Structure 1
Amino acid sequence: RQVVLSGTAAAIEGAERAFAAEDIATRRLRTSHAFHSPLMAPAADALAAFLDELPLREARLDVWGNTDAALLPSPPDEVRRVLARHLTSPVRFREQIDAMHTAGVRTFVEVGAGHTLTGLVEQILEDRPHTAVALERPGVHGVTGLHS
């Protein structure tokens, strides 16, 4: 039901014009950078260098990545590679949620500001069995939401 484009201001303006010509509604998101696009390559390189210095060990829980819509690999060096690539890769959120549900995940908890992703999970899974909860909702601090 929605697609997020990322690119230069000129490219986004061109896309907006093309969509308008086809009577397709658009809404520009306010972001500081062109996340999940090749324009983030310098930041991805810096993140990779930072991650190389972190002592990582294999995860004890399943961790899903939304650029591959799959479980993150176990070897720490592969985790570093996937995380650094995340800045320049498209997000495959719908595919990730579908894959998680197919794998048996039924509880989705949004941690962080807002509840946008919880709404997207609801749209994606519709009437399939699941529970989706945002810890931080309007008027409810995240810690309070965790305890409620």
Structure 2
Amino acid sequence: MIDSDMLKRINVQILDGAQDWKEAIALCTRPLLQQGYITQRYIDTVIALTEKSGAYYLLTPVVALIHARPEDGVLKRQMAVTLLKNPVLFMGKSIPTKLLIALAATDSESHLDALSQIANVLADDKKMDKLLKAQDTDTLYTLITSP
């Protein structure tokens, strides 16, 4: 379960897909940018790091945890979740990614707390199956934030 303070309902979206991994990152982080949780520098840093080091944020083949350091443009602590109906391939990967989680952590403590919450969701196979099949954002949000 992800804390509802850490993930606002408005930051959860289900989209048809993305043209490529760069657009997927931009789409997933857009709610955080629009609401002032991150700056454009944050998004640019994630893309630059991916181009340099590959998709370092893939937790599983189908789940990406989009993140950069707090000093790379995080203004306030928050998350965003995007489910892609048509998965996207990340650079150098052969398995399409469907669930993107953007994490804006202001310090290492909030970063570790958020990672723990995310790990609990990912460890529940039944919940993950339901998440990946969610048809609407209310269902997706409820699945993520409920025990």
Please give the TM-score of this superposition, normalised by the length of structure 1: 0.27
**Comparing both chains, which one has the higher relative contact order based on Cα–Cα distances under 8 Å and sequence gaps of 6 or more?**
2
Give the strand-richer structure, 1 or 2.
Answer: 2
Please give the TM-score of this superposition, normalised by the length of structure 2: 0.27
Rg (Cα) greater in structure: 1
